[in-house]
């Protein structure tokens, strides 16, 4: 028994002098060490959860509609919505006709001047030009209600190259009005702007955005409307501008630049 105790004492002294963990185990005891280990694990878990809360996962971050950037100077690549259809003898596309499918959609303007364009369609009419006037929208829209006009069409690309898209808002000097301008191309917006309380003469062209496109049909849409004190008002005009390969200037869209599917409603 004495020999065993001496051996244990020798081992104890050697471990005490060389092993820090052994000294902690002797001083704190197994239960205390286990408690410290669990506390450390719990503390690390709280830190991880805190980091997750301060840096949400990408899918948890609310995002608004994506928008093409004109400031980076890049030529964006977009996949066509569909291939070019066969052509008629006169050069027009089979199953399509020039122009836009235009609709009247109600809007809701928030306290921070955020405009929510509703998906409800109040009226449908064909629109064949490159410019849409508020007078035309007032004819098609309801009375005593806030709304905007929306146009939907396909941009026709027959020749590969660099194309540019933009829009111009025009309004002569008139009583103040708020005017919404939006232009979408492919899966993203190209323009989204609300000009508040316009009263002086205005002719404003938005920064053009360049696209490197291959032959095909590309989904395009615009939204436009002017109002004051919750009532739609005139005057005002939105013009869709297009730059074709080899052209230096943006010009109003040509007759066959945009087509709608089938016959006009």
pTM for this entry: 0.73
CATH number, domain at 79? 2.60.120.1560
- Over residues 41-67, the pLDDT tens digits come to 444 444 433 433 444 433 333 345 678
Residue segments in the chain with a per-residue pLDDT below the cut of 70: 1-65, 71-72, 263-265
Q: Specify if 66 maps to a domain.
A: no
Coil, helix or strand at residue 96: strand
Alpha carbon of 117 to those of 52, 169, 224: distances in Å?
Answer: 34, 19, 10
Q: Specify if 250 maps to a domain.
A: yes
Place of tokens 């291959």: 214
Q: Shortest CA distance to 124 belongs to which of 105, 138, 97?
A: 105
Are 226 and 110 found together in one domain? yes
Are 132 and 239 found together in one domain? yes
**Residue 129 structural domain:** 75-261
Are 230 and 172 found together in one domain? yes
Are 140 and 34 found together in one domain? no
pLDDT of residue 113: 86
State the total domains in the chain. Answer: 2
Tokens of 228: 């004051």
Q: Specify if 256 maps to a domain.
A: yes
Are 136 and 23 found together in one domain? no
Q: Specify if 180 maps to a domain.
A: yes
Are 221 and 157 found together in one domain? yes
Q: Specify if 69 maps to a domain.
A: no
Are 13 and 136 found together in one domain? no
pLDDT of residue 17: 56
Q: Specify if 90 maps to a domain.
A: yes
Contact between 232 and 137 (Cβ < 8 Å): yes
Are 50 and 130 found together in one domain? no
Are 32 and 124 found together in one domain? no
Could you tell me where the beta strands, DSSP code E, fall in 4-55?
none
Q: Specify if 67 maps to a domain.
A: no
Cα angle, residue 231 at apex, residues 228 and 235 outer, rounded to 5° = 65
């Amino acid at each position: 028994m004495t020999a065993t105790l001496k051996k244990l004492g020798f081992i104890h002294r050697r471990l005490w002098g060389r092993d820090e963990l052994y000294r902690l185990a002797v001083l704190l005891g197994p239960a205390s060490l286990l408690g410290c280990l669990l506390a450390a694990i719990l503390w690390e878990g709280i830190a991880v959860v805190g980091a997750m809360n301060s840096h949400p996962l990408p899918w948890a971050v609310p995002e608004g509609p994506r928008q093409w950037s004109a400031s980076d100077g890049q030529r964006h690549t977009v996949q066509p919505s569909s291939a070019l259809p066969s052509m008629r003898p006169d050069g027009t596309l089979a199953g399509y006709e020039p122009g836009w499918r235009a609709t009247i959609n109600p809007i809701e303007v928030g306290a921070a001047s955020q405009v929510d364009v509703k998906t409800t369609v109040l009226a449908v009419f064909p629109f064949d030009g490159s410019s849409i006037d508020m007078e035309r929208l007032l004819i098609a829209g309801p009375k005593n209600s806030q709304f905007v006009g929306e146009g939907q069409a396909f941009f026709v690309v027959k020749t590969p190259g660099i194309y540019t898209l933009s829009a111009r808002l025009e309004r002569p000097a008139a009583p103040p009005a708020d005017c919404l301008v939006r232009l979408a191309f492919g899966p993203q917006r190209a323009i989204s702007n609300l000009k508040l309380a316009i009263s002086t003469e205005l002719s404003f062209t938005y920064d053009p955005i360049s696209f490197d496109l291959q032959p095909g049909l590309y989904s395009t849409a615009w939204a436009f409307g002017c109002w004051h004190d919750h009532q739609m008002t005139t005057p005002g005009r939105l013009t869709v501008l297009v730059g074709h390969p080899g052209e230096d200037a943006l010009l109003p869209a040509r007759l066959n630049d945009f087509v709608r599917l089938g016959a006009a409603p």
